């Protein structure tokens, strides 16, 4: 494209005009270079926020469901481990599909006579995966100390953030929640 200037425009004005036109696409090119990094950072921030939200939701759901154990509503065959998992997942239904949650949520519940005798089995294998063979379901009886732990392997969605956020193999972040309490004296005549 040939630019025609009126005769009264000086050479200096012509150069200034041409120079401003030559830089008109510079901002778009600079944005194209910076945009992938910006969007990756933005996705990483959003992903981290979602993980913290999911972790908090799992903790609240575990605490609420553990209340059923503490008050004796889950003992004596009233609630199986699968029902406990379903109850926790029911409280997380706004975040995860129920079937996905129930398939992946692992719960470990152990009871002890008092706090000083407490201990717990490791739930991770040496390679970092969940050891489902060490999971137990012992809601205990009145006045016993109970440790409830819930684990959910959250899939990290931002591919390049996976090496930075994963804490178990397979591009996953292991969400954890726990509650420790003494069961209430829910049986008639029992005192703690």
Burial class (CB in 10 A: 0-12, 13-18, 19+), 184: middle
- What is the DSSP code string of 170-186? TTEEEEEEEEEEEPP--
Q: Is 192 within a domain?
A: no
Q: pLDDT digit of tens for each residue in the chain (192 aa)?
A: 555 655 555 666 766 666 666 566 777 888 889 999 999 889 999 999 999 999 999 999 999 999 999 999 999 889 999 999 999 999 998 889 999 999 999 999 999 999 998 888 888 899 888 999 989 999 999 999 999 999 999 999 988 888 889 999 999 999 999 999 999 998 777 677
Is the residue at 163 inside a domain?
A: yes
On whether the CB atoms of residues 133 and 176 are closer than 8 A, the answer is: no
151 within some domain: yes
Confidence at residue 4, expressed as pLDDT on a 0 to 100 scale:
61
- At residue 14, the pLDDT reads 65
Domain, as residue range, for 63: 26-182
Q: 5 lies in a domain?
A: no
Domain annotation covers residue 141: yes
Q: What is the DSSP letter of 137?
A: B
Whole-number Å distance between alpha carbons of 86 and 92:
10
**Domain assignment of residue 9, yes or no:** no
Q: Structure pTM? A: 0.81
| Residues 6+ away with beta carbon under 8 Å from 181 | 66, 70, 145, 146
**CA neighbor of 129 nearest in space, from 171, 88, 160, 159:** 171
Q: What is the pLDDT of residue 88?
A: 97
For the chain, how many structural domains are there in total? 1
Q: Does residue 149 form part of some domain?
A: yes
* Contact by Cβ (8 Å): 148, 137: no
Is residue 2 in a domain?
no
């Amino acid at each position: 494209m040939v630019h025609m200037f009126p005769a009264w425009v000086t050479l200096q004005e012509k150069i200034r005009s041409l120079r401003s036109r030559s830089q008109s696409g510079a901002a778009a090119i600079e944005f194209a270079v910076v945009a992938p990094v910006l969007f990756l950072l933005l996705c990483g921030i959003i992903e981290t926020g979602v993980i913290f939200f999911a972790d908090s939701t799992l903790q609240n759901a575990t605490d609420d469901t553990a209340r059923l154990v503490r008050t004796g509503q889950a003992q004596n065959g009233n609630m199986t481990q699968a029902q406990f998992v379903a109850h926790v997942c029911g409280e997380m239904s706004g975040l995860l599909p129920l079937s996905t949650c129930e398939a992946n949520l692992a719960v470990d519940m152990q009871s002890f006579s008092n706090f000083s005798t407490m201990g717990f089995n490791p739930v991770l294998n040496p390679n970092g995966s969940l050891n489902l063979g060490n999971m137990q379901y012992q809601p205990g009886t009145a006045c016993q100390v109970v440790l409830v732990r819930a684990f959910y392997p959250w899939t990290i969605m931002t591919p390049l953030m996976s090496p930075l956020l994963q804490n178990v193999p397979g591009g996953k972040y292991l969400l954890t929640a726990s509650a420790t309490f003494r069961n209430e004296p829910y049986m008639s005549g029992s005192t703690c």
